[in-house]
Amino acid sequence: MASSNAIVPGTTPDAPAPSSVTQINKTVHPFSRAQLEGLMTKRFFYTQAFEIYGGVSGLYDYGPTGAALQANIISAWRQHFILEEEMLELETTIMTLSDVLKTSGHVDKFADWMCKDTKTGEIFRADHLVEGVLEARLQGDEKARKAEQTNAQQAQEVPVEGGDAKDDKKSKKKKIKSTAKKLDDETKAEYESTLAQIDNYGGPELGELIRKYGIRAPESDNEVSEPVEFNLMFDTQIGPTGQIKGYLRPETAQGHFVNFGRLLEFNNGKVPFASAHVGKSFRNEISPRAGLLRVREFIMAEVEHYVDPLEKDHDRFQEVADLKLSFLPKGTQQAGKSDISVQTIGEAVKSKMVDNETLGYFLGRIHLFLVKIGIDPKRLRFRQHMGNEMAHYASDCWDAEIHTSYGWIECVGCADRSAYDLTVHSKKTKRDLVVQKPLKEPKVYDKLVPFIDRKKLGPHFKKDARFVDEAIAQLDQAGLEKLLVSLRNGEADVGGYKLTSDLVKVELKTIRENVREFTPNVIEPSFGIGRIFYSLLEHSFWSRAEDQERAVLSLPALVAPYKTSVIPISSNEKLAPLVKQISRQLRAKGIASRVDDSSASIGRRYARNDELGTPFACTLDFASLSKGTMTLRERDSTTQRIGQIEEVIDVIKALCEGSITWEGACQRLPAYSGEQELD
């Protein structure tokens, strides 16, 4: 049962072993998603919300271990992005005025297409339905062809696993059973081509595909309705009158943009700078599955980096220029391929595959962050969005995708939102959301300027005067020149109004501009913390070679919920005060620890330690009382060292801070040669 879900092998043998000098083969047992999920519940990393009420799909609660792991990921993120780059952190409201999201385009465009089983009323996401059915047919075709070749009797009904899905969307749909049935070659090619472009289709196209391919509801085999749009925002009423409509924000970004004026002022009017916000966002998914990967409530960590559109270079670009990343550019995908191009960020920016230094800089920083917290760099790639796939506000977008048993999952988006949002908000609210930049040399030029004698214009045109004024204001240089000539000749016509030179004059003026005014462009790295959290768990999970049931989470100390266990070798009361004292000492040094003084055997307690992802364990025995010593065990290698209690605590602190490796720890602490009962 457990291994039947195995799709993708665990971390490869040559992946770095974060806190161990011993090379451990972590792939002896194939990855089992069921086993990981079992562990998550057993050790209360997370669970479905309102479980005792039957649960609600797409909503999850994090227990003590999961909450700590998530908090540590966020803390590492703050350190890596906000503190390192002195970003301006915000804390804005989740409840969002509908006008704001109307302006940003979310009220009209933030939707998925859904269709209904016309008889049972079951609801499907239209793209997932088309994908699922076509993939099942292709799978059936494959089976039929195999059966044909081998003349074997394999044409039975077999469920189709998500398998090597191209991206996360592919594997989120409900699994559809396939039946062996051969397709003609032309149909097969057509299905494949359709699937390669599925992210590019809107509702009407999906409706056409449903009709063309006779797609029906998978279980009931009933007809499905035409796709209709379903807005993914949760809506509610603010206040008791029902007149103020609100939405739960679908991203934190708009909270940054509406505060842009104050942020710019706080930054003394200068760009570039970035705002950052870690907080919850909400999407009312049509039919969420796939655990933490598609949820209705999630923590995002978003950076909005404001730049001069003419200066998208970055002064720290050199720090990442030589970093090699795995790229999957849009050209490759549009040609129906998925070949990865490994190159340095410097090369990618130079060739313009990645548009500019700032975008390239953030791709590099994203990569460094993900690897730092424990994501396997071999299962990390940067995929560029194709044209129609892009969000309505983006001019370019690269996703950091992480490979999991669900396929490649979009975990971080890095979009160039251009000046879209600031422009629309500025237009709607009539507030200037612009930067004024002093010009090195003032710009001096001549310009025709109209001068209206309003004292005469008013009485002359009466209530029309306003329109005349506007008509003149709208004239460009050519129009003003024409007006000048006409006035010289006696009378001019502007928008149907007759003008003479006593009412308006046109003169050539020398203009001197000292500042350039522009709407900044926004580069947005946007992190889905829950998806990163889940991917990290898959990448960290493996089983001991000797026993598949003995699972280990190889979380780096940086993010592990507890850094060390404190384990008294027996429940003898004499050890209890020492256990308390060591807990206190660890706490004073800022090292999160967990005492395991249960009556379980020492081996079972180490196994529990490994399941919690705790990198180290301090074990106390009677020598701790008589000689003041304590042993230190490293999770991945299970090797043990011994030292004076104070020294061991100092070593743990150094290990957690990353100032020494386990190899360094072994130099400071001698090997422990004592014998311990391990189960």
Strands 46-48 and 60-62 come out as: antiparallel
């930067």: which residue's tokens? 435
Sheet of 616-620: strand order equals 593-595, 564-568, 616-620, 629-634, 640-644
Contact in structure between 609 and 565 (CB atoms under 8 Å): yes
According to CB under 8 A, which residues from 399 to 438 bind a copy of itself? 425, 428-429, 431
The nearest distance, CB 415 to a copy of itself, in angstroms, is 22
398 interacts with a copy of itself by CB under 8 A: no
CA distance 559 to 168: 25
Does position 241 interact with a copy of itself (CB under 8 A)? The reply is yes
Q: Measured from the CB atom, is 297 or 636 closer to a copy of itself?
A: 297
Nearer to a copy of itself, 31 or 298 (CB): 298
How far apart are the C-alpha atoms of 23 and 18, rounded to whole Å? 11
d(CA 24, CA 550): 14
Binding mask 576-595 for a copy of itself (x = CB under 8 A): -----------x----x---
Residue 68, token pair as written in the block: 């700590």
Cα 630 to its chain centre, rounded Å, is 42
Does position 92 interact with a copy of itself (CB under 8 A)? The reply is: yes
Residue 272: asked if its preceding bond is cis (omega within 30°), the reply is yes
Pick the closer one to a copy of itself by CB: 146 or 280.
Answer: 280
679 binds a copy of itself (CB under 8 A): no
Give the residue, chosen from 11, 104, 287, 614, that forms a contact with a copy of itself under the rule CB under 8 A.
Answer: 287
Kindly identify the residues of this chain, within the stretch 205-234, that bind a copy of itself according to CB under 8 A: 230, 234
Pairing of strands 504-518, 547-553: unpaired
- Residue from 3, 22, 38, 50 binding a copy of itself (CB under 8 A): 50
H or E stretch at 127: helix 126-150
663 scored as a contact of a copy of itself (CB under 8 A): no
CB of 422 to a copy of itself, least distance (A): 11
Q: Which of residues 242-261 bind a copy of itself (CB under 8 A)?
A: 244, 246, 248, 255, 258-259, 261
Query: Between 30 and 64, whose beta carbon lies closer to a copy of itself?
Result: 64
Q: Of 199-207, 277-285, 326-334, 440-448, which part binds a copy of itself (CB under 8 A)?
A: 277-285
Comparing C-alpha atoms, which of 523, 499, 614 is closest to residue 567? Answer: 614
Which residue number, 598 or 601, has a Cβ lying nearer to a copy of itself? 598
466's CB contacts (< 8 A; 6+ apart) are none
Residue 94 makes contact with a copy of itself by CB under 8 A: yes
Minimum gap (Å) between residue 606 Cβ and a copy of itself: 17
Is 535 one of the binding residues for a copy of itself (CB under 8 A)?
Answer: no
Structure tokens at 90: 């915000």
Total residues at interface with a copy of itself (CB under 8 A):
74
Point out which residues pair with 235 in neighbouring strands.
Answer: 247
Select from 40-48, 140-148, 186-194, 377-385 the region that touches a copy of itself (CB under 8 A).
Answer: 40-48
- The residue range among 145-153, 201-209, 280-288, 307-315 that interacts with a copy of itself, by the rule CB under 8 A, is 280-288
User: Structure tokens of 275?
Assistant: 């705002």
- Candidate list 24, 238, 448, 666; residue touching a copy of itself; CB under 8 A: 238
Say whether residue 95 binds a copy of itself (CB under 8 A): yes
Out of 17, 73, 100, 435, point to the residue binding a copy of itself (CB under 8 A).
100
Question: Residue holding tokens 């939102």?
Answer: 417
Segment interacting with a copy of itself (CB under 8 A) among 19-27, 278-286, 372-380, 642-650: 278-286
Place of tokens 């009312």: 284
Taking phi first (over 0 means left), then psi (-120 to 50 degrees means alpha), and beta for anything else, what does residue 596 get? beta
Q: Are 63 and 49 in contact (CB under 8 A)?
A: no
Q: Which is nearer to a copy of itself, 527 or 662 (CB)?
A: 527
Alpha-carbon span 258 to 226, nearest angstrom? 37
The residue from 237, 351, 477, 581 that contacts a copy of itself (CB under 8 A) is 237
Site for a copy of itself in 105-134 (CB under 8 A): 114, 121, 123
Question: How big is the chain, counted in residues?
Answer: 679
Determine the angle formed by the axes of helices 465-473 and 454-461, rounding to 10 degrees.
Answer: 130
Note whether 218 and 174 are within 8 A (CB).
Answer: yes
Does position 97 bind a copy of itself by CB under 8 A? yes
Judged by CB under 8 A, the chain residues 52 through 91 that form the site for a copy of itself are 52-53, 56, 59-64, 66-68, 70-71, 83-84, 88-91
What is the DSSP secondary structure assignment for residue 554, as one 8-state letter? -
Q: Does 368 bind a copy of itself (CB under 8 A)?
A: no
Which residue, 38 or 495, is less far from a copy of itself as judged by CB? 38
Instruction: Give residues 295-354 in contact with a copy of itself (rule: CB under 8 A).
Output: 296-297
Question: What angle do the packed helices 529-540 and 64-77 form, to 10 degrees?
Answer: 110
Among candidates 291, 326, 321, 300, which has minimal Cα distance to 401? 326
Q: Is 282 in the site for a copy of itself (CB under 8 A)?
A: yes
Looking at beta carbons only, is 297 or 416 nearer to a copy of itself? 297
Nearest Cα neighbor of 21 from 616, 665, 555 is 665
Answer for which of 6, 28, 195, 263 binds a copy of itself (CB under 8 A) is 263
CA nearest 520: which of 315, 255, 311? 311
Window contacting a copy of itself (CB under 8 A); options: 46-54, 547-555, 622-630, 663-671:
46-54
Going through 426-575 in order, the beta strands assigned E by DSSP cover: 435-452, 492-494, 497-499, 504-518, 521-528, 541-544, 547-553, 564-568
Among 150, 151, 156, 268, binds a copy of itself (CB under 8 A): 268
| Least spacing, CB of residue 612 vs a copy of itself, in Å | 10
* Out of 3, 99, 200, 204, the residue judged to bind a copy of itself by CB under 8 A: 99
